[in-house]
Amino acid sequence: MDIYSALNQVSTKKREYFLYKHDLFVLKGKPSEEDFCKSIQVKSLAYMKKWEKTEEYRQLVSILIESRIAEDIENIYYSLREKAITGDEKAIKLLLELQKTTKEYQKPSTGLHVVEEKKNSAIDELEL
């Protein structure tokens, strides 16, 4: 589940606050706290600060972090790949370790897992 799907399961004010707090606004620039309070029609964010201590909020943060980690791993992979292609021995070793670790954590899914496994095997053969 992505963060936006998860946020659809909470109230509008909580969703807007989470987007505000974590800079997920689609609009340009982050509004001031005062402007944000006006936009969601509350006097202060005290209630939302209390909500940050709940399990619901922690689960949303966990989903957000998980998606950001996935993006980071993808960026690291492409960076390592470029360095490995140029012959950097340390990058080659790290790339192979990353691929091995990724294979260990792959979740089987209908049909997609088999395709990904074949793709990774082909990549491994090319890199050796």
Q: What is the pLDDT of residue 123?
A: 53
What is the C-alpha separation between 108 and 118, in angstroms, rounded?
Answer: 13
Instruction: Look at residue 24 and tell me if it is in a domain.
Output: yes
Instruction: Look at residue 55 and tell me if it is in a domain.
Output: yes
What is the C-alpha separation between 73 and 15, in angstroms, rounded?
Answer: 27
Q: What is the pLDDT of residue 29?
A: 77
Q: What is the pLDDT of residue 37?
A: 94
Q: How many CB atoms lie within 10 A of CB 17?
A: 23
Instruction: Look at residue 82 and tell me if it is in a domain.
Output: no
What is the C-alpha separation between 101 and 40, in angstroms, rounded?
Answer: 44
Q: What is the number of structural domains in the chain?
A: 1
Q: What is the pLDDT of residue 91?
A: 94
Q: What is the pLDDT of residue 110?
A: 47
Phi–psi pair at 11, nearest 5 degrees: -65, 160
Token readout for 32 is 């001031």
Instruction: Look at residue 113 and tell me if it is in a domain.
Output: no
pLDDT tens digit string along 25-35?
766 678 889 99
What is the C-alpha separation between 29 and 27, in angstroms, rounded?
Answer: 6
What is the C-alpha separation between 63 and 4, in angstroms, rounded?
Answer: 10
pLDDT tens digit string along 45-71?
999 999 999 999 999 999 999 999 989
Angle CA 35–37–41, to nearest 5: 120
Residues in the chain: 128
Structural domain boundaries, residue 24: 1-67
Q: What is the pLDDT of residue 125?
A: 52
Regions in the chain scoring below 70 on pLDDT: 26-28, 107-128
Instruction: Look at residue 48 and tell me if it is in a domain.
Output: yes
What is the C-alpha separation between 105 and 92, in angstroms, rounded?
Answer: 20
